């Protein structure tokens, strides 16, 4: 593995983000330059163990109860009672056991007392024997069959297998009790280190194991995947497509073969051209149907691989064929176009010789129409260009964007919530080049094919904290001509109220990923990913796969401000009544201090019973003085106070205008519109910070917080435009003067 830039573990916040972005730009996270998960360097750790003559123990994922689970597999549960963590070989003291007696945990390190005699899992453990096969993967006491099905699929493609399971690992040469695997997570490849302590019960592996009991690559890969997701229990329940993607970096799309799109055969042909992984299955209606064999030798509830497709001339007509493989290596389709069927007699000998499968290895052909009738589900895992090393495959163009949904700022919910839908993140896709087969596939109009995949992050890892998958989806809008070509603009509420979506995800669903294929005319489109309900927080990845080149970008407002003119007034221009008011408020020194300003504003605001407020704080008033104080003495004279007074009156007018429900406070989305009306265009990150800083727990913004926010914004923009123009009384340090 190539040397990877290391992100310092002490970096946090913006600093860490900048470091990560720089490292990513240099290639960190690509498969050939995978991120060292939790900062662990496999080669360095292995070499250190070999030099010291010790076996590696992974403190980042220790052989301890917490690594098993938190509920059903949590400490003290009946399912984990008596579990021992053992290495496959005991050539060195290597057993770390967890004994639970009367709800008390005893951790015994090193050689066990004679009462718990050391034993080995097998006499001659092997990492892989004669290549990886499906018999290396047998399910244990964990409900992760979805993951094991994905692991089994790796055995059908040696190139992809060794991207996940690196070469050169064994229990003999260079053995140090440490192994590593490469797993894709949310846009980047991770190099994950594990020790070879495995959970056992009664001397047998508790979870995945090989049929022979001597190969351990699958058990160690399962452990690495459990480490990435926090514990073994987090792997319970899931979709095979999730495993497909984490082992390839690809994106999976599903098709219900009872309602297939009319161009499904073209989709399959293109997928095979790109080296995608294709699988299909027959749904079951009850547990008794699992792996039941039909009259024509198809297995229900069983995963088949799709390995080829070919259109042939049969008796003067075009016929679509599809090639399947049963990973059992036996039990083949016996209907039309099976190995020994009579249909092959009408095919030209040369083509028959080319297409027919003579070996009894579970591979067979069938007519595509029979395929649609017999099977119920098709899944296609489209691989990213880096996974396709062969030049014979046509490759997708891919783009990936990280995003967040945050309460009050970017979590607007779906179109059912028009008041907040527009605050969701937005992404633009510009489609220019039509598909090559635009005029061939059933007389369709020329169009551009692309696939959108929305994936929520880290939800499996957060299960132990009571979090589960959110219900997610997306909508696609066509950009009207008057808005075409614009960049750096986040579309507002009025646009979505006036325009219907052009396309959308097939459904909002609580899966890790929602993906849908589209074919639209050339043009510009806006993608809006969202949770179903507003104010549901989460992180996500949006991936765009296009057949031809497509320009994509995140739509976010450019930061800019239209600041009020600093008109130079003389005292003679100020109204006489205001002068009299100022004289009463200011006192003998004819200037208003910070504390006096606080008293004045709170007395005035208290008379506005329609405003929800806790009163202006001393810090808010100090910010106002700093903004208006031209001579730097820490007080406001007549002219300075007059400017501030008019400014606050304007703020009050804006506040009341955008307090749409007349509640006396503004909601987070009302705040966003009010800030723009006040002259401030901010990006989503700044809006997120403002809501965090100024909103109450119920996401309401009081008038005093609204004023304070505007004062801080004006101060920041003026300092940016006119840095160090004047001294400020009690000037806040840059750390304390942040929004």
User: Catalytic positions, please?
Assistant: 145, 302, 326
Residue carrying the six token digits 């700093």? 626
Q: How far apart are CA 687 and CA 26, in angstroms?
A: 30
Q: What's the residue count for the chain?
A: 739
Q: Write phi, then psi, for 10 (nearest 5 degrees).
A: -85, -5
**Mode of pairing for the β-strands spanning 503-504 and 377-382:** unpaired
Which are the contacts of 724, defined by CB distance < 8 A and separation ≥ 6? none
Residue carrying the six token digits 């929520």? 456
Question: In this structure, which long-range contacts are made by residues 437-441, counting pairs with CB atoms below 8 Å and at least 24 apart in sequence?
Answer: 437/266, 441/263, 441/266
CB 396 within 8 A of CB 382: yes
Q: How far apart are CA 646 and CA 148, in angstroms?
A: 69
Give the up-direction half-sphere exposure of residue 50: CA atoms within 13 A in the CB hemisphere.
12
The first and second tokens of residue 270, run together, are 């293109």
Nearest Cα to 658, choosing from 650, 669, 648, 647? 669
> Helical H runs in 279-410?
349-355, 368-374
The SS3 assignment for 382 reads strand
Q: How far apart are CA 234 and CA 232, in angstroms?
A: 5
CB 694 within 8 A of CB 708: yes
CB 199 within 8 A of CB 205: yes
Q: How far apart are CA 381 and CA 365, in angstroms?
A: 21
Q: How far from 442 is each of 372, 438, 518, CA to CA, in Å?
A: 18, 9, 16
Residue carrying the six token digits 């064994």? 170
Cα angle 619, 624, 626 (rounded to 5 degrees) comes to 95
Which H or E run contains 354? Answer: helix 349-355
CB 528 within 8 A of CB 403: no
């Amino acid at each position: 593995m190539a040397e990877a830039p290391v992100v310092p573990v002490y970096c946090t916040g913006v600093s860490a983000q900048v470091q990560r972005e720089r490292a990513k730009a240099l290639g960190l996270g690509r498969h050939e330059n995978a991120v060292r998960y939790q900062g662990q360097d496999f080669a360095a750790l292995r070499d250190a163990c070999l030099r010291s003559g010790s076996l590696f123990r992974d403190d980042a994922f220790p052989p301890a109860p917490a690594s098993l689970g938190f509920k059903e597999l949590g400490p003290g549960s009946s399912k984990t009672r008596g579990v021992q963590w053992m290495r496959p070989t005991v050539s060195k003291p290597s057993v770390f056991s967890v004994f639970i007696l009367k709800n008390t945990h005893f951790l015994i390190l090193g050689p066990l007392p004679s009462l718990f005699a050391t034993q080995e899992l097998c006499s001659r453990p092997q990492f892989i024997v004669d290549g990886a096969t499906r018999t290396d993967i047998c399910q244990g006491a964990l409900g992760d069959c979805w993951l094991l099905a994905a692991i089994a699929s790796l055995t059908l493609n040696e190139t992809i297998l060794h991207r996940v399971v690196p070469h050169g690992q064994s229990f003999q040469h260079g053995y140090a009790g440490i192994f590593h695997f490469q797993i894709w997570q949310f846009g980047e490849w991770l190099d994950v280190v594990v020790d070879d302590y495995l959970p056992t019960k009664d001397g047998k592996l508790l979870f995945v194991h090989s049929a022979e009991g001597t190969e351990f690559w699958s058990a160690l890969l399962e452990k690495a995947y459990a480490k990435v997701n926090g514990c073994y229990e987090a792997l319970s329940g899931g979709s095979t497509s999730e495993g497909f993607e984490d082992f390839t970096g690809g994106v999976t799309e599903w098709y219900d073969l009872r309602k297939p799109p009319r161009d499904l055969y073209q989709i399959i042909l293109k997928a095979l051209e790109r080296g995608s992984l294709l699988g299909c299955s027959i749904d079951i209606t009850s547990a008794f149907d699992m792996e039941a064999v039909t009259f024509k030798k198809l297995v229900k509830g069983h995963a088949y691989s799709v390995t080829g497709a070919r259109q042939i001339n049969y008796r003067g007509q075009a016929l679509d064929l599809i090639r399947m493989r049963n990973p059992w290596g036996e039990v083949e389709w016996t209907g039309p176009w099976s190995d020994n069927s009579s249909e092959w007699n009408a095919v030209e000998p040369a083509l028959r010789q080319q297409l027919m499968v003579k070996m009894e290895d579970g591979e067979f052909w069938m007519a595509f129409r029979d395929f649609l009738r017999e099977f119920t589900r098709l899944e296609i895992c489209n691989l990213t260009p880096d996974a396709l090393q062969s030049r014979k495959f046509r490759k997708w163009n891919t783009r990936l964007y990280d995003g967040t949904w945050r309460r009050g700022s970017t979590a607007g919910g779906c179109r059912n919530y028009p008041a907040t839908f527009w605050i969701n993140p937005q992404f633009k896709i510009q489609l220019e080049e039509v598909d090559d087969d635009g005029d061939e596939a059933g007389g369709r109009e020329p169009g551009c094919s692309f696939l959108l995949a929305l994936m929520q992050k880290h939800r499996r890892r957060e299960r132990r904290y009571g979090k589960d998958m959110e219900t997610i989806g997306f909508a696609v809008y066509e950009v009207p001509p008057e808005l075409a070509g614009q960049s750096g603009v986040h579309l507002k509420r009025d646009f979505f109220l006036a325009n219907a979506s052009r396309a959308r995800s097939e459904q909002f669903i609580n899966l890790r990923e929602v993906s849908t294929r589209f074919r639209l005319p050339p043009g510009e489109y806006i993608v809006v990913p969202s949770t179903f309900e507003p104010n549901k927080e989460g992180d996500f990845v949006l991936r765009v796969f296009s057949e031809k080149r497509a320009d994509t970008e995140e739509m976010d407002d450019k930061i800019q401000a239209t600041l009020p003119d600093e008109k130079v007034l003389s005292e003679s221009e100020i109204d006489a009544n205001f002068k009299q008011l100022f004289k009463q408020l200011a006192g003998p020194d004819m200037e208003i201090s910070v504390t006096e300003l606080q008293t004045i504003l709170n007395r005035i605001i208290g008379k506005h019973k329609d405003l929800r407020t806790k009163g202006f704080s001393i810090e808010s008033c100090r910010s106002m003085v700093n903004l208006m104080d031209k001579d730097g003495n820490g007080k406001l004279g007549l002219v300075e106070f007059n400017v501030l007074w008019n400014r606050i009156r304007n703020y009050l007018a804006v506040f009341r205008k955008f307090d749409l429900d007349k509640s006396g406070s503004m909601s987070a989305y009302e705040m966003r519109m009010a800030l723009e009306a006040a002259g401030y265009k901010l990006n989503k990150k700044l809006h997120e910070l403002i809501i965090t800083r100024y909103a109450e727990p119920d996401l309401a913004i009081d008038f005093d917080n609204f004023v304070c926010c505007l004062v801080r914004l004006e101060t920041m923009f003026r300092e940016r435009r006119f840095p160090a123009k004047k001294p400020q009384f009690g000037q806040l340090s840059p750390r304390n003067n942040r929004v």
